[in-house]
Every structure is written in C-alpha cells, then in structure tokens.
Structure 1
C-alpha cells in the first residue's frame, strides 16, 4: 500500500553544493553485459584510476547487493526487474551526493535499462561490455554456464534467458578483443571528453 501522508523534504544543501566541494560532477556509469564479460573487473579498474586522480567514486556490484539490500530477491523476471529498480534508486542517491557511481549488472532487458535512463536522465551513461558468448562461457569464473548447461540454473542469461543487446549505448567496449587497460582508457577518455558530466581539476 502506498503511503498517502508522505512528502518530499528539500535539503538546505543541494547537489551543486556537494559537487562544488568535490570538484566533480556526479554520474552513473552503468556497465551491462553477459556474465563473464568483465563488467565488474572493468568497473573496479576504472574506479581505481578515477580514485588515483582524486575522484570520489562508489561501485555497485550485482553480487554484492544481492548479499544485502537485494538478498530477498531471486532471479525471476519480476525479481530481476526489482533488483535493477532498487539499484537505480541507490545510484540516484549516490549521484545526488556528487559521486561517480560505477554499476556492474547484467541488466539483460532493454525495458529495465530504459527505466534507468528515465530515472537518472543525463546522469545515466550506458556502457555495453560486449563479449562473445563463447568467450564468456570459456572464462566462466563462477562455473555458472556449466551449471546452466546442465540444467542446474534456470533462466540463465545467454543460455535459457535472453540478453537484449543495447541499441544506443553511450559507449561500447569489446572485452574479447581489447585488453583491460585499453577498455579502461576508452572509458576515461569518454569521461574526459564529456565535460558536462565530468570536470577535470586544473
């Protein structure tokens, strides 16, 4: 039941005030791709480089959030949708605090990613971590593909559940063709060239 006596309270300190202190613009870098494509590895590597530059970041990882905030959710279509919705709301709070947020989620459905874009507006940057399914399956760091092929995991993305490739992402990195360092540089170059979202400190 939705509350009827709930009101939005404005803060005396606004997002612009926090961003001025940090010397950066808040933004959400949303890494989407198949399991094993390298989303978390890339997000963490980018975060490390940004922190080395004096940027304040926070990384949201799908597996990590499922151990806390989203531990009550399974992997049905409805629960995956709720997983992404909750994460989007957390990202919105963090970006309002002026942070550069790096979110690594399979997020396989275009409709869910479209909702994120609607929620976050210009703060949402979709990064498609493109990697051939065969390569992801060969890596299989968690043995998930093997379990899915054996029928031990139902509705596994890329095997028994679809992954809808992004149609208009802000950035595409090919982790089956480019090194991690090349992919990190690609993301950082994009950020540096987009002054509206990322401010270089002189």
Structure 2
C-alpha cells in the first residue's frame, strides 16, 4: 500500500447509522457446500428482515462473480482472493449500518476467520448451512455436481477440492432436516437473542 493513502474518517459513523436504523449491523456469513441452501436461506432471512423494515442486503457468490470478482477462477488462491474481497465489501456494509448476508461456499476456515477479524467482536456471525454431500448432489440445482463427477469442472468443492467445516460456528442449520421457513426463523431468533434486532 502506498504511504500516500490515508484513511478518511466519515462524518457519519457506524454507531450513528445503527441508531438511525434502530438495529445493529452484522455480517451473516452463510457457508456450506454447493446445493446446501445458502442462497435460499440467506434470501429467506433477508425477506423476514425486509418485512420488519430493517436495513439488510444479500451478497451472493454467483452474483458477485458476475461483476466485482468476474476475473477470478477457482484455484485455491483465487478462492482466497474472492473471500477477501467479499469480506472487505461486507465490512463496508456493516459500517453503513446494514445487516449483510453473504452466501459463499468459502471452503477454507482460515479465509472465514480472516473476515471475522476485519470487523468488531460480535459483528461476524458464521452460519454453517450443513447438508450431506449426498443430499446436495441429489438437489444439484445448477447441475454442477453432475459436471464435476464427469470431470467437466475441476477443483469442485466437495468432489475434487476440500471443504473445511466450521469448528465453532455461531449457528448450524441442517437444511436437509428442516424447512427453509424454520431455518430462516432460527436465524432471526438468534439476531433477536443477541440484541442485534
């Protein structure tokens, strides 16, 4: 980083924005295998928050790769850079007073922990969207597992690239045993219990 770059302190800080919004801002980091239901759950939670007139937004893995991260591939290094960039964007959203859901496979523990370190204690909520590989393959909403099994997609998480399960996530949601509605309500209840909303 250049020595000529200096952080400019905003006139309106995070606490003032949270006060205006009447809720705290956090990163809800949905992690899990492809097909586990991360995007579906993140959007269901976002819908419940929107209905309450709370400020929220979803950063989705595929959507981000259409723009901000479209130049990145799926090598370990590109995956790390993908998550680093998302972490920085999510941090800006938290500073803006927004409850920010991120739906990314984010296969490596270290990368998720690095994002946690970007924000203050309590502002990163790791949500393990747990679902068996068998169920994810059965769902296969984008046909990716089929392609991965056929060797058409190299470095596919869960097949030819590892997924490191969270060790101690704030929440574990088993999407192969409860409904989307139940799962979303579970996340919102957590936010209520922690005084975030």
Q: TM bucket by the smaller chain? A: over 0.9
Aligned residue number for residue 163 of structure 2: 163
1:143 aligns with 2:153: no
CA–CA distance in 1 between the matches of 2:115 and 2:86? 9
Give me the CA root mean square deviation: 0.7
Residue 121 (structure 1) shift: 3.2
Aligned pairs (5 A) from 1:15-54: 15-54=14-53
Query: What runs of 5+ residues in structure 1 fail to find an aligned partner?
Result: none
Aligned residue number for residue 99 of structure 1: 98
Residue 3 (structure 1) shift: 1.4
Aligned residue number for residue 176 of structure 1: 176
Cα offsets for 1:65-117 (capped at 9, x unmatched): 00000001010000000000000000000000000000000001111111011
Residue 119 of structure 2 aligns to a residue in which SS? Answer: helix
Query: What runs of 5+ residues in structure 2 fail to find an aligned partner?
Result: none
The number of equivalent residue pairs is 196
Cα offsets for 1:2-53 (capped at 9, x unmatched): 3121111111211111111111111110000000000000000000000001
CA–CA distance in 1 between the matches of 2:148 and 2:45? 30
Residue 120 of structure 2 aligns to a residue in which SS? Answer: helix
Aligned pairs (5 A) from 1:46-85: 46-85=45-84
Task: Give the TM-score taking structure 1 as reference length.
Answer: 0.95
1:114 aligns with 2:121: no
CA–CA distance in 2 between the matches of 1:87 and 1:114? 13
Residue 5 of structure 2 aligns to a residue in which SS? Answer: coil
Aligned residue number for residue 133 of structure 2: 133
Deviating 4+ runs (over 2 angstroms): none
CA–CA distance in 1 between the matches of 2:16 and 2:108? 35
Task: Give the TM-score taking structure 2 as reference length.
Answer: 0.98
Residue 168 (structure 1) shift: 0.4
